[in-house]
Amino acid sequence: MLSFLYCYCISIMDFWSPDIEAMPLDELKELQLRRLQKTVRRAYDTNEAYHRLFKEAGVAPGDIRSLDDLARLPFLTKDDLRHYYPFGLLCVETDDCVELHASSGTTGTPVVGPYTRGDVEVWTEVMARALWANGMRQSDVLQNAYGYGLFTGAHGFEKGAQRIGALVVPIGSGNTRRQITLMKDFGTTALSCTPSYSLYMAEVAREMGFDPREDFRLRLGLFGAEAWSDEMRAKIEEEWGIVAHEHYGLTEIIGPGVVTECSHKRLHVNADHFVTEIIDPQTGEQLPPGEEGELVFTTVTKEAFPAIRFRTGDIARYSEEPCACGRTLPVQSRIKGRSDDMMKIKGVIVFPSQIEAAIMAVEGTSGNYQLVKRKQREMNSLSIKIEPTEERHAQGHLDDLAQKIEEEVYAVLNLHIPVEVVPPNTIPRSLGKAKRVVEE
């Protein structure tokens, strides 16, 4: 018992914000409620659009007496954000903002994320909390290979790592050979980028004559901005000889820093700032903990642009069960996919991440694959292109490999999806988010 207590105290002492991360759940919920009430009141009083949306839903700030009353508030959708672009949902003066980010806008009007000084402080703290939990310390050298610019990713990692006191190398994305050279020269210990890019970097390192496992000081991978499977994680960890951690966030909420992944690889929601709901994507009804549905977030400390009941389109589960790491912060599962990524193939719901998991379970496959979607009359059909590893390619008998993958996919989805094995280095590589699904 004593040794248990000892371990418990040690782990708690090692949290970045122990007061919050190990706060009893009922206290945490009281804190959430107080902050939610304040946020709703402020949005209603200061912002015309929120005022009208709440009125139309027949709800006033005084109606929010418990966290359950969240369900009385209207949802905020991506379309709403586009409608109020760029500053229609701002709850402060633009003069009060000190930083602005935006999504790429490749699928329409970009989403704008303005920050006050207070918002930047919250962002910095939640990122430091997450990176500390991943094992980052002052002695680390972070190679920050997310794209700098309007995208939140790189900036969030930089802020959090600097708060810890680590050395940040703001290299940005691209120029992969230079990345490898500097990784060696600067003694990089932590790498932040998309998971698919980290695999490409390992490929380039090999081309340059390095052994990714032996020739670098790298020990931590901090990956996000893509849905990636546990099997992909194992592959990356094996390839680089590192521990790979997931980061999750959205421009609408704060950028990266929405969750903290612990050493047990569970995603703890930073629930002192973000309140989670899981809803049925079709009906919008709240679902109980443990059920799979669409993630909805409400920010309860954000000043410039509080997102109230924002529908993320991301499919996951939520749980308030305790975690062995000692954190009481609730847990969300890894993202199965965006509801936009969901495909219906011969009547079966398919997420690219499920296919990825099946592919990666077969020995001899690399992390490079592409799903080719075709629309034939009213039916969608799908096929898979995958690259084997160099060694597996050299062995030949690639039909066997294709068949094994087909069987593995069938075991997961109960669907026969044709698999084409293509030579190594033929599927285009991405420096940011990989394009896993192409339409023909």
List of residues contacting Zn ion (CB under 5 A):
262, 264, 266, 323, 325, 327
Closer CB to Zn ion, 278 or 331, in the complex: 331
CA distance 119 to 244: 28
Closest CB 319 distance from Zn ion, rounded Å: 11
Closer CB to Zn ion, 262 or 371, in the complex: 262
How crowded is the C-beta side of 110, counted as CA atoms within 13 Å?
Answer: 15
Checking DSSP bridges between strand 274-279 and strand 267-269, what pairing results, if any?
unpaired
Closer CB to Zn ion, 217 or 264, in the complex: 264
* Neighbour count for residue 339 (Cβ, 10 Å): 17
Asked if 67 and 276 count as a contact pair (C-beta separation under 8 A), the reply is no
Alpha helices in 136-281 (DSSP H): 152-164, 176-186, 195-207, 230-240
Contacts 24+ apart (CB under 8 A), 176-185: 176/200, 176/201, 176/204, 176/431, 177/204, 177/208, 179/143, 179/145, 179/204, 180/204, 180/205, 180/208, 180/210, 181/208, 182/143, 183/143, 183/216, 183/218, 184/210, 184/215, 184/216
Closer CB to Zn ion, 264 or 374, in the complex: 264
Closer CB to Zn ion, 271 or 325, in the complex: 325
Closest CB 138 distance from Zn ion, rounded Å: 23
CA distance 434 to 172: 16
Closest CB 323 distance from Zn ion, rounded Å: 3
Closer CB to Zn ion, 265 or 429, in the complex: 265
What is 200-228 written as a DSSP string? HHHHHHHHTT--TTTS----EEEEESS--
* φ and ψ of 245, to 5 deg: -115, 150
CA distance 223 to 14: 22
Closest CB 157 distance from Zn ion, rounded Å: 21
Closest CB 265 distance from Zn ion, rounded Å: 8
Closer CB to Zn ion, 101 or 327, in the complex: 327
Closest CB 364 distance from Zn ion, rounded Å: 34
Asked if 163 and 124 count as a contact pair (C-beta separation under 8 A), the reply is yes
Closer CB to Zn ion, 325 or 359, in the complex: 325
Say which DSSP state 96 is in: G
Closest CB 329 distance from Zn ion, rounded Å: 8
Closest CB 316 distance from Zn ion, rounded Å: 16
Cα-based angle 126, 152, 351 (whole degrees, multiple of 5): 95
Closer CB to Zn ion, 264 or 344, in the complex: 264
Closest CB 338 distance from Zn ion, rounded Å: 25
Closer CB to Zn ion, 40 or 325, in the complex: 325
Closest CB 140 distance from Zn ion, rounded Å: 21
Can you tell me whether residue 235 is helix, strand or coil? helix
Closest CB 321 distance from Zn ion, rounded Å: 10
Closer CB to Zn ion, 218 or 325, in the complex: 325
Question: How far out from the chain centre does Cα 81 lie?
Answer: 20
Residue 346, classified by CB atoms within 10 Å of its CB into exposed (0-12), middle (13-18) or buried (19+), is middle
Closer CB to Zn ion, 159 or 268, in the complex: 268
Closest CB 286 distance from Zn ion, rounded Å: 24
Length in residues, the chain: 440
Residue with tokens 């690219």: 352
Classify 37 in phi/psi space as left (phi over 0), alpha (psi -120 to 50) or beta. alpha
Asked if 380 and 347 count as a contact pair (C-beta separation under 8 A), the reply is no
